[in-house]
Homo-oligomer: A and B are copies of this chain.
């Protein structure tokens, strides 16, 4: 498995299983001279961590990051930044029941087939716990990208949808409620729905929208490494993601060209932004916005029929502490992946002209 590195110049390599000693990673290519705000990094980790509110998993993990290298007297040195988040909550016994059984819509079976064995403790490498390492690296990337801003929020939980224009959303409201939806009334509705779902022992999906502001023109490397293509890959690499669309997205397929085209103002901004801030795979200076679709969490607190590694039918009882809906905690992960993509393209852009 050589797929654990993201990026060409601003690179993140992660390691770690959900119930091993530690997860962590190496950030290689972060430019020298960046004064790091460590509190901001921990703040993003806290936005992702379990137990932060009543509507997420109640597992307790402090998720404190330890940096090993690459930072000296508060600044990045240009050398690789090694870090780890130690796993303090290794209740391996919780997972003994899945040692030989394959949970439906989980990766247990495919890992066993692909590698011939698997670390069966809590999903092992396939657990979303791994994304904490992405949040660390993304938080550093954000600091490198300033004054570019990257804000994600929950725009749908199940069938409850926020009616929103991403460029006009009041981003300051996002963190005011546990759902991370910028409209207080809709957020309450979503929160109640998630609580009801949890009581059923069930889970539900949702959509995270992300808005990027103040990005310069020129990021993205056609023809294969287009800006939106790398954003799409980065989002699809997050656990439970089933779809990605930017700008007009799937709805745009129903429009005519005469309706869809974004006409220019004389300062080269556009009167509309159906392009979502990207033309031909390159940022055009307008807001970038995109939607990320998350499926309902596969682990439910209900009994299910499944099979074991011998191909025998077995009953699987729902237990453990899991998220009824993943999108509130996915918000900082979406931002982190966007930041990693943009940091990489920011560096690549420096090489476009002689």
Please encode chain A, from 59 to 95, with 1 for each CB lying within 8 Å of some chain B CB and 0 for all others: 0000000111110100111111110100000000000
Interface size class of A (residues with CB under 8 A): 35 or more
Please encode chain A, from 251 to 285, with 1 for each CB lying within 8 Å of some chain B CB and 0 for all others: 01111111111111111101000111001111110
Contacts of A250 on B, CB cut-off 8 Å? 207, 242-243, 245, 250, 291, 293
Complex: how many Å from CA A295 to CA B352?
28
Complex: how many Å from CA A140 to CA B306?
37
Contacts of A247 on B, CB cut-off 8 Å? 242, 295
Contact residues of A between 272 and 319, Cβ < 8 Å to B: 274-276, 279-284, 291, 293-300, 302, 304-307, 311-313
Pairwise interchain contact A261-B33, C-beta atoms closer than 8 A:
no
Pairwise interchain contact A203-B282, C-beta atoms closer than 8 A:
no
Contacts of A294 on B, CB cut-off 8 Å? 253
Check A168 for interface membership: any CB of B closer than 8 A: no
Contacts of A246 on B, CB cut-off 8 Å? 242-243
| Besides A14-B80, A253-B296, 16 other A-B contacts (C-beta < 8 A) | A5-B28, A16-B68, A16-B82, A22-B82, A32-B114, A33-B115, A114-B218, A116-B353, A203-B256, A204-B256, A224-B237, A225-B237, A228-B236, A243-B245, A259-B296, A261-B304
